[in-house]
Amino acid sequence: MVTLKGKQIYLRALEQKDLNFLYLIENDTKVWEVSGTVTPYSKDVLQLYLDNAHRDIFDVKQLRLVICTHEHKTLGLIDVFDFEPNHKRAGIGIVILDEDQRNKGIGAEAITLLTNYLYETLGLQQVYANILEDNLSSLHLFKKLGFQVVGVKKDWVRFKNTFKNEVFLQKINS
């Protein structure tokens, strides 16, 4: 049975009350390097996004879930992107906003809950992640969860006039 509830956290759909959290995360310049963001988002634009967040993953090819503690504290976001139902694959990305909440097993639990959902409910064959080569903690996390490095995209991401390699990891449902 698939559940989006774990020992420490649960995953839920975006709600209108998430506007301020979304505003913080999308405008945090420390996250821009991994998110590909280059300009700030206004609350009006984010509100439009929230107004459409209910759309089906099969329609918009993406899904964003909120990572919450069982006490309902919002910790971060976990995304499904490039959802390809025909090829039975999707990419995932995760961000925990508060650095003090990282390296506590929250990310591992969120990724595990999401991949189980993608495999068991949506019937995906594989999930992948793109991680900057110097993001050692994320690389360690995904590898620990069974993702395998299958390639490196050289000079793939430009941020502040520096090019970085991006590691491509896959986890195939067996």
Structure tokens at 70: 């069982």
In-domain check, residue 69 = yes
Give Cα separations from 37 to 3, 30, 41, 78, 109 (angstroms). Answer: 31, 10, 9, 16, 26
Each residue's pLDDT tens digit, 14-65: 999 999 999 998 888 888 877 777 788 888 988 888 888 888 888 888 999 9
Instruction: Give me the torsion for CA of 44, 45, 46, 51, rounded to 10°.
Output: 90
Q: How far apart are CA 11 and CA 76, in angstroms?
A: 10
Give the domain extent around 67. Answer: 9-130
In-domain check, residue 20 = yes
Do residues 120 and 2 lie in contact, with contact meaning Cβ atoms separated by under 8 Å? Answer: yes
Each residue's pLDDT tens digit, 80-131: 999 999 999 999 999 998 888 888 999 999 999 999 999 999 999 999 999 9
In-domain check, residue 95 = yes
Query: Is 135 strand, coil or helix?
Result: coil
DSSP state of 41: -
CATH (domain of 71): 3.40.630.30
Domain count, the chain: 1
Q: How far apart are CA 59 and CA 70, in angstroms?
A: 30
In-domain check, residue 155 = no
In-domain check, residue 105 = yes
Question: Treating both helix axes as pointing N-terminal to C-terminal, what angle do 106-120 and 136-144 enclose, rounded to 10 degrees?
Answer: 50
In-domain check, residue 63 = yes
Do residues 149 and 128 lie in contact, with contact meaning Cβ atoms separated by under 8 Å? Answer: no
Which residue stretches of 27-172 are H helix? Answer: 29-35, 43-51, 57-60, 106-120, 136-144
pTM: 0.92
In-domain check, residue 167 = no
Number of Cβ within 10 Å of residue 81's Cβ equals: 15
In-domain check, residue 169 = no
